[in-house]
């Protein structure tokens, strides 16, 4: 288990640690492959699609966080429905400083990246646009992984924009887990979807680090 507890943790040190983990490397390889394959046949739609994806990303990020990462285990007959992403995210809330738990699990990337490639190859009217989608998606994935990782290190924010993003996510972990679900932006999807309250009016949650009983070592399904 790896943690960073340093008051003078620099951006270059953060970068070196970031690239030691499998998720950024796998996403970066997918990005490089898509970018290499994306040659020729540039059209206006190749500029419009990435712009739309960037605009929609906060809502996508919010939806995944709420619906999947904060999934409460449920029973289906004798079986408990408790996805890996939800289990790992509960562990992340229990120990927000454990670096291995910050990243998308490699087991998830094993199927997510092939699925993204399949969508790129089959769901668009031309291959070039599908590859534009894949380049944009993997770039957004890298931005997400880097931002989320950096927030949980001891790197001190140097810009107002990053300080806002840092503060937003830290409130989610240490103030109240029912609000502030965006990671790479602040006040975007949360404002739109009603999860960006005035923090002074929000009580500190006793379960911010104990989603669905994670510290007990087990979770009782509904």
Model pLDDT for residues 23-32, shown as the tens digit of each residue: 999 999 999 9
Q: Please report whether residue 79 resides in a domain.
A: yes
Phi, psi of 74 (to 5 degrees): -130, 155
Q: What is the pLDDT of residues 83-126, one digit of tens each?
A: 999 999 999 999 999 999 999 999 999 999 999 999 999 999 99
DSSP designation for 186: S
Q: Please report whether residue 111 resides in a domain.
A: yes
Q: How far apart (Å, rounded) are the C-alpha atoms in residues 31 and 135?
A: 6
Paired residues of 76 in beta bridges = 79
Indicate the pLDDT class of residue 215, thresholds 50, 70 and 90: low
Q: Please report whether residue 82 resides in a domain.
A: yes
Q: Please report whether residue 218 resides in a domain.
A: no
In DSSP notation, 136-177 reads HHHHHHHHHHHHHHHHTSSPPP-SHHHHHHHHHHHHHHHT-T
Residue 7 is predicted with a pLDDT of 57
Please check whether residue 151 is in contact with residue 54, taking contact to mean a CB–CB distance below 8 angstroms: no
Residue with tokens 């500190």: 204
Split into its structural domains, the chain has a count of 1
Q: Please report whether residue 99 resides in a domain.
A: yes
138 or 213, greater pLDDT: 138
Q: Please report whether residue 212 resides in a domain.
A: no
pLDDT (mean) for 30-54: 95
Q: How far apart (Å, rounded) are the C-alpha atoms in residues 173 and 158?
A: 21
pTM for the predicted model, two decimal places? 0.90
190 or 77, greater pLDDT: 190
Q: Is the pLDDT of residue 4 over 50?
A: no
3 or 177, greater pLDDT: 177
Q: What is the pLDDT of residues 150-162, one digit of tens each?
A: 999 999 888 999 9
Indicate the pLDDT class of residue 3, thresholds 50, 70 and 90: low
| HSE, side-chain direction, 13 A CA sphere, residue 53 | 18
Q: Sign of dihedral through CA atoms 211, 213, 219, 221?
A: negative
Domain that holds residue 93: 11-162
What does pLDDT average to over the chain? 91
Q: Is the pLDDT of residue 62 over 90?
A: yes
Q: Is the pLDDT of residue 214 over 70?
A: no
Indicate the pLDDT class of residue 187, thresholds 50, 70 and 90: confident
Please check whether residue 46 is in contact with residue 128, taking contact to mean a CB–CB distance below 8 angstroms: yes
Q: How far apart (Å, rounded) are the C-alpha atoms in residues 144 and 61?
A: 9
């Amino acid at each position: 288990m790896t943690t960073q507890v340093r008051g003078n943790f620099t951006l270059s040190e953060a970068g070196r640690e970031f690239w030691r983990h499998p998720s950024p490397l796998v996403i970066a390889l997918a990005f490089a492959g898509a970018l290499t394959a994306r040659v020729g046949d540039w059209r206006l739609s190749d500029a419009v699609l990435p712009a739309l994806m960037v605009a929609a990303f906060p809502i996508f990020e919010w939806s995944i966080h709420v619906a999947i990462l904060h999934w409460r285990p449920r029973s289906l007959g004798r079986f408990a429905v408790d996805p890996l992403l939800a289990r790992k995210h509960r562990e992340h809330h229990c120990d927000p400083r454990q670096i291995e738990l910050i990243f998308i699990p490699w087991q998830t990337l094993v199927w997510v990246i092939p699925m993204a490639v399949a969508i790129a190859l089959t769901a668009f009217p031309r291959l070039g646009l599908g590859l534009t989608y894949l380049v944009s998606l993997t770039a957004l994935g890298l931005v997400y992984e880097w931002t989320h990782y950096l927030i949980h290190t001891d790197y001190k924010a140097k810009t107002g924009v990053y300080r806002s993003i840092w503060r937003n996510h830290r409130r989610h972990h240490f103030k109240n887990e029912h609000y502030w679900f965006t990671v790479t932006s602040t006040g975007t999807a949360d404002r739109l979807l009603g999860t960006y309250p005035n923090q002074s009016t929000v009580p500190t949650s006793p379960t911010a680090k104990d989603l669905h009983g994670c510290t007990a070592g087990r979770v009782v399904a509904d």
